[in-house]
Structure 1
Amino acid sequence: MKESSVPMDKEILIAKLLNLAEGRETPESWQEWWNEHEAELESLLNRGDFLKLKPCKHGFKWVPVFTSQKGAVAILEKNGVKCNSSHFYQEQYLEELDAFCKEQKRQQREKQKEFKDRHPAWFKQYPKFSKALANVLGPSDEILPAATEAKIDKQEELLKFIFPAKVREFFLLSAGINVSTGVTIMLSGMFRMTIHGEQYCVLGEFWKEADGDQLLLRTGDETIWYYAHEQDKVKPLCNDMTELLEKKLARYLNAN
């Protein structure tokens, strides 16, 4: 500890650190004391110890006092002061984390049920993808209603491109989706593109490797291709639209 002329002395600090290390503080009492004495502590402690002791900002109530406790124990040990480090803060944090996880699962189940109630055909046709999609849907995400055969035919005519059968099946379920985590497939947003001399129809975006990477179709082929624009490479991604949704995108959404 550095020499200081501030009112707080080493004995007062050690007593407070013992209270913290041995579990006699609450998140409120510790934060209040820190706020009152932060300037003194910054003068009294070296920079490393100060930062170890400083309560972090966190959404969980018990995390700041739990992390500060570790700093307190380290400072006490450095000064040769024995303490009986309490597990109380850790136990409270784990209880809080468990309650948070249970609440998240409850909300996920509610979102899935609401999505299933509103879109039962999705769960019938693409169960894995639909379950993953229900978990990540945000306020700005879009799920469009089904496209008509006539609308799909018109888009094919505009693009001069015949959609693979399984892509058509998807658009008969929805005219498109736009998910902020990096998946966009929109019937009205499709366009033709030439890459390395080959013609493709752009189905949408899939941010598998980088923002803006694209899903591609080729004439007379159910295969879904993938354009990694940072590498400037076209790669086969999966055999068809169903595999794209049920395996590739479901796994991607679950990870995000």
Structure 2
Amino acid sequence: MNSEVLTIKLLDLVEGRETPETWQNWWDEHEAELETLLGRQDFLKLKPRRHGFQWVPVFGSQKGAIAILEKSGIAFEASNLYQERYLAELDVFCKEQERVQREKQAKFKADNPEMFRRYPKFSKALAKVLDTSDEIKPAATEEQIGNQESVLDFTLPSQVREFFLLTAGIQASTGVILSLSGMFDLTIHGERYCMLGEFWKEADGDQLLLRPGEETIWYYAHEQDKVKRLCNDMTELLEKKLARYLNEQ
């Protein structure tokens, strides 16, 4: 391949005469030659990136080709075709994600009527932000709760037990994690706690804590290495603290 052949191909790319398939096939066939002909910097600009969207690689390569042609002083008329096809593809993807999210939210409401009755503010706020990757576990049994208490040597507060009898755990990508099976015992600054879950109120990974014999919910801000009193009990945590946080997402 010589510079003249390459220029013709770059013009085809920039002016919208390529498809994702023709461009990728041509690239695969000539990749080794192109690195020698272009030099490393321009080679990387032109290289199509592997992507889940069909039109992203050719759209990205078009930007690189424009830079190469401009540097060479070669005239061209850039096409918007690849960008338009990419945006159309993105729109379809986003609409499908929204559809899946709506279905998941509707299923959450249908499957958890008692949670909506018991914790209406929290449940409504959670339903609005539920993502396709989020998880709402089925209710725990008294036996499962008792077994976890035995493992931890820790008696759960009554309101925490009530919550786990509605769901054994919630994992929301917005930064709310409550999990019966994920609970563990820990000591912070000489004080014994049981980790109830995570609440990313101040930073990712900050923890919700319980102390023996209390309904109080405590908050461990790990960046400050400080335990703070968060609220009086589980109901206040759900209906005020977490509901407000989720509504702000």
Same fold (TM over 0.5): yes
Residue 16 (structure 1) aligned with residue 16 (structure 2): no
Name the CA shift for 1:149/1:44 in 2 (closer, same or farther; >3 Å): closer
Structure 2 CA distance for partners of 1:151 and 1:65, relative to 1, 3 Å: closer
Residues 63-90 of structure 1, C-alpha deviation per residue, up to 9 Å, x if partnerless?
A: 0000000000000000010111111110
Structure 1: how far apart are the matches of 2:204 and 2:19? 44
Shift of 1:234: 1.2
Counterpart of 2:33 (choices 30, 40, 46) is: 40
Aligned equivalents of 1:98, 1:191: Cα separation in 2: 43
How far apart, CA to CA, are the structure 2 residues paired with 1:252 and 1:131? 8
Give the deviation of 1:109 after TM superposition.
1.2
Q: Give 3-state SS (helix, strand or coil) of 2:228's partner.
A: strand
Matched, 1:102 2:102: no
Partner of 2:229, secondary structure, is strand
| Rounded Cα–Cα distance in structure 2 between residues aligned with 1:135 and 1:245 | 22
What's 1:132 paired with? 129
Aligned residue identity for 1:129? L
Cα pair distance change 1:21/1:241, threshold 3 Å: same
Q: Aligned pair 1:185/2:179, yes or no?
A: yes
Superposed CA offset, 1:204-240 (max 9, x none): 34566455x5321246755421224465321334554
TM-score (norm 2): 0.79
Cα distance in structure 1, aligned partners of 2:37 and 2:80: 27
Distance of 1:48 and 1:130 partners within structure 2: 48
Q: Give the RMSD, CA atoms, in angstroms.
A: 3.5
- TM-score, L = length of structure 1: 0.77
Q: State how far apart, in whole Å, the 2-side matches of 1:92 and 1:162 are.
A: 55
The CA distance in 2 between the partners of 1:28 and 1:149, in whole Å, is: 57
Q: Which residue of 2 aligns with 1:3?
A: none
State how 1:89-238 maps to structure 2 within 5 Å. 89-124=82-117, 125=119, 126-133=123-130, 135-137=132-134, 143-148=137-142, 155=149, 159=153, 161=155, 163=157, 166-174=159-167, 176-177=168-169, 179=171, 183-186=177-180, 190=183, 193-206=186-199, 209=203, 211=205, 213-218=206-211, 222-229=215-222, 231-238=224-231
Cα distance in 2, alignment partners of residues 54 and 115 from structure 1? 44
| 1:34 shift after superposition | 0.6
CA distance in 1 between counterparts of 2:111 and 2:216 reads 30
Mapped contact 1:185–1:205 kept (Cα < 8 A): no
Gaps of 5+ in 2: none
Q: Contact 2:154–2:212 at 8 Å: present in 1 too?
A: no
Q: How many residues align?
A: 240
Pairwise CA distance, 1:30: 0.5
Distance 1:13 1:221, change over 3 A: same
SS at match of 2:91: helix
CA distance 1:249–1:18, change in 2 (3 Å): farther
Q: Compare 91-100 and 190-199 and name the one that shifted more.
A: 190-199
Given residue 139 of structure 2, which amino acid in structure 1 is its aligned partner? Answer: P
